[in-house]
Amino acid sequence: MATKQVEVRDLDEGSYVMIEDAACVIKGYSTAKPGKHGSAKARVEAEGVFDGKKRNLSQPVDAKIQVPIINRKQGQVVSVDGDEAQVMDLETYETFTMALPGDVDPDPDDNIEYLEMEAQRKIV
């Protein structure tokens, strides 16, 4: 899996993090002061990038955590069939089928932006 390792203290809202082997975008980040018997703790509230599930994480701020490498790419809609679209990557000219989110209604020849991590893709 394409990830890099960072400390929990380096995370902030809007960035990505791996929780339960799923790529998530951070929606909330807060820290608690160090206590008598330990280091400061960070609480991360996140939502799955590709599945939309909410996930939480509580770790010491100096712990190491995996951050996914998600590429933001440009594509062109070739055709639309119901809730799926044929999309051509504008760099590699590779064509693939993607599910359309409910709030997106592209026409053929529209340019779109999508996120890609390994075999997972999502229209932004």
pLDDT of res. 119: 83
Whether residue 53 is found in the same domain as residue 89: no
Tokens matching residue 89: 């990557």
Q: How many CB atoms lie within 10 A of CB 83?
A: 10
CATH number at residue 14: 2.30.30.30
pLDDT tens digits for range 13-22:
999 999 999 9
Q: Percentage of the chain surpassing pLDDT 70?
A: 99
Whether residue 58 is found in the same domain as residue 105: no
Q: Note if the pTM is more than 0.85.
A: no
Whether residue 39 is found in the same domain as residue 96: no
Whether residue 64 is found in the same domain as residue 18: yes
Q: What is the extent of the structural domain holding 79?
A: 71-123
Whether residue 30 is found in the same domain as residue 53: yes
**Run of H or E including 98:** strand 95-99
In whole angstroms, give the CA distance from residue 95 to residue 77: 9
pLDDT tens digits for range 64-101:
999 999 999 999 999 999 889 999 999 999 999 998 88
In whole angstroms, give the CA distance from residue 32 to residue 39: 9
Whether residue 55 is found in the same domain as residue 87: no
Whether residue 76 is found in the same domain as residue 60: no
Whether residue 26 is found in the same domain as residue 75: no
